[in-house]
Amino acid sequence: KGIDKEFYLLFSIFDENDSWYLNKNIEAFTGDPSKVDENDADFMESNKMHAVNGYMYGNLPGLTMCKNDKVSWHLIGLGSHYDMHGVHFQGNTIDLRGTTRDGLALFPHLSGTALMQPDRVGTFKVVCRTFDHFVGGMKHLYEVSSCRNTSRAQRQRGAMRLYYIAAEEVEWDYASNKSSAPNVYNISSYEESFLVYLVYCEPTLQLPCQGHLGEELPGDSCSQKRVNAQLHSGLLVSSAGPLLHAEVGDSVLIVFKNKASRPYSVSAHGIEE
């Protein structure tokens, strides 16, 4: 009730190595059947069809709707333990159990229903993001048409909001001074050797380093740890950015300045760019 369009999508890997017609297909579609090794790993992989409703590589027909239609997507997983799918909808968001997102996890022999009210016109992808499934053909297209004549003035009836944001790198020391820990927590002398404490690496920077209490580490130890930390995590500290407020119908202009030491990109999730 109250749904304009319904679609049923069955995500499954069909293994044609188990087909009763495998030998007939080898005889009919290979140049020299005697040279076909049915146990060859590449041959067996080529017979696994990563399909949605039996279709592969964008050939699934009928996924059409109008902008602002109320659409119900019924998603079904079927198969073996290999059939663990990360279903992703490009271009528009879905409502799943009261949460707004653009994808969901689909496991074998489970199903789910996601609601969508597309607000973008165009042709978009619905795919499985599991890498070998995606490469194997589990990717299709759905089309959203305007279906109604709306003027540009009607579409842009909200306010214009301007925001300035920047990416910055900050070295942040999460470790506290542990010098009083042995007395407060009754730590033995053996356990003291594993405490984390602060060593000044530069006049204005502190970095937590591992060592024995009272032991002076070599001059390069902290700088090396800083390099290793940056290589491991990219940044010593990363946190969520500022919250940008807007209302339905508003236009948002974001001016982004990259003040970091490496490139960054900005992506608008769930809204029309």
Q: What is the DSSP code string of 190-245?
A: HHHTT-EEEEEEETTEEEEEE--TTPPPPHHHHHHHHHHHHHHHSSS-----PPPP
Instruction: List Cα–Cα distances, 92 to 58, 123, 250, 256, 273, in angstroms.
Output: 18, 11, 17, 24, 12
The CA-based diameter of the chain, rounded to the nearest angstrom, is 82
Residue with tokens 């994808």: 103
Our answer to whether residue 128 is catalytic in this structure is yes
Strand partners, 16: none
Phi, psi of 129 (to 5 degrees): -85, -5
Residue 233, φ and ψ in degrees, nearest 5: -115, -5
Q: From the candidates 128, 201, 209, 222, which is the catalytic residue?
A: 128
Q: Catalytic residue numbers? A: 128
